[in-house]
Amino acid sequence: MISGIFLINAQGNALVSRLFRDDLKAGVSDLFRIHVVQNPSVDAPIVTLGNMTFMWVRHADVYVVAATVSNANPTLVFEFLYKFLRTAGSYLGGHLSQEAVKKNFMLLYELLDEMMDFGYPQDTELNSLKMMITSEMVRGGGDAPHPERTYPMPSSVAAPTWRKRDIKYRKNKCFIDVIETLHLLISAQGTVLRADVDGRVQMRSYLSGMPDCTVGVNAIVDGTTASGPALVLDKCQFHPCVKIGHVGQEQCLRFIPPDGEFELMRYRAVKNIRVPLLLDVVVEETAQRMVRYNIQLRASMDPQLVASDVEIRIPTPPASVHVDCHAQIGQAKWEGPEAGMVWRIPRIQGMVEVSFRAEVKCRPTQSWTRPPIVINFDVLMLAVSGFLIRYLQVVERSNYRPVKWVRYQTRAAHSYLVRF
């Protein structure tokens, strides 16, 4: 998203410089001065220099500039710039000028810190900002007079829009579910063609008061850096209550949770995916119009883990007339030429290998196109991406100790395919 915000005067000198990410090099404002301020041929509000893009709005003798090295949404960036202009103008008596910026740079730094977190717009509502930032502007000799403005200081930080203040529970509880859906496609030769995970972190919060929650994770968002080795997540989406900046810097989620059940975040992982169930398929077609299946299912997860509701759907030729199938555990049956064979296993423990055999008699017909085998399953206490909740802290001024637990779940629902 946005890597930095700069307030630059008409001569190209930086008045305020606030960096939100560490992907900008020194001298960024000098680039803007050379290629934009001192270049009269540039009249567009967007310019790209190498891998860096500047987007700016000019107000009087001040440029408000956003710099980014990512593929940021320009509509969102300009909306933020104009909201910052309106908010800063409200604090500065409607007169944003070079002189006003110089005299009130600390106030503008406070505004930027509250309005943006790690390059993402956070709080742009003027009434909410006035409850948190109570500084008054510093007037100079040339500033237009305006009436004194005072902002009331609340007893604590302004309440978020997603939570009421007067929530009370006799027993405080906080639960987290990490739910991952495995997407896997394996070729007939055993090559992995696709392996990725879509994950959701669901939270159920039954906490009194206005708690501050911190969830430590072993992952960072793609494009950020961490002090040590960490799982890299892609396409992350967070609930509005999450303060984004701590995900990359501290590998944690800080937030004031909504009451009840909500989705804390979504993510996608594409590297080092662990597959809990592996399938080895051998299919032989004979000249006597017979098709023989020999399938080995191996639970490659830890022995203490159990896969439940395992369902393996095995296609048969459209010309099938008779099927004889046998499974070492569970139940196997033929549900017709279109549905094929279904092998259902209520539960299978890790590091266990079982087999399935079948003979299918067919009418004389041409060769058939083999659809993939589909595997469905559910495994508790396993996150195949490696995503891990390291800790869950709840801090509230009444100092209660809530009941907490974290649960993991990996599932495949028509998303694990094996060609044969």
Q: What is the pLDDT of residues 80-91, one digit of tens each?
A: 999 898 888 888
The closest of 55, 126, 56 to 94, measured between CA atoms, is 126
Instruction: Say whether 277-380 and 4-132 share the same fold.
Output: no
Task: Show me where the domains of the chain are located.
Answer: 4-132, 173-273+382-418, 277-380
Percent of the chain with pLDDT over 90: 52
Q: Which CATH class is domain 173-273+382-418?
A: mainly beta
Chain mean position to CA 292: 45
Per-residue confidence (pLDDT) for residue 157, from 0 to 100 = 43
Q: Is the pLDDT of residue 251 over 60?
A: yes
What is the rounded average pLDDT of the residues 14-30? 84
Which pLDDT band, with edges at 50, 70 and 90, does 159 fall under? low
pLDDT band of residue 223 (cuts 50, 70, 90) is low
Write down the pTM of the prediction: 0.65
Contact 168, 120 (CB under 8 A): no
Q: Can you tell me the distance from the alpha carbon of 35 to that of 232, in angstroms, rounded to the nearest whole number? A: 35
CATH number for the segment(s) 277-380: 2.60.40.1170
Position 323 scores a pLDDT of 95
Mean pLDDT (the chain, rounded): 87
Average pLDDT over residues 368-372: 90
pLDDT confidence tier of residue 153, bands split at 50, 70 and 90? very low
Which of 122 and 65 is assigned the larger pLDDT?
Answer: 65
Q: Which of 52-61, 89-98, 395-404 has the lowest mean pLDDT?
A: 89-98
CATH number of 4-132: 3.30.450.60
Which range among 87-91, 274-278, 380-384 shows the weakest confidence by mean pLDDT? 87-91
Residue 147 confidence class, pLDDT cut points 50, 70, 90: very low
User: Which one, of 20, 43, 19, 41, lies nearest residue 29 by Cα?
Assistant: 19
Mean per-residue pLDDT, 226-236: 73
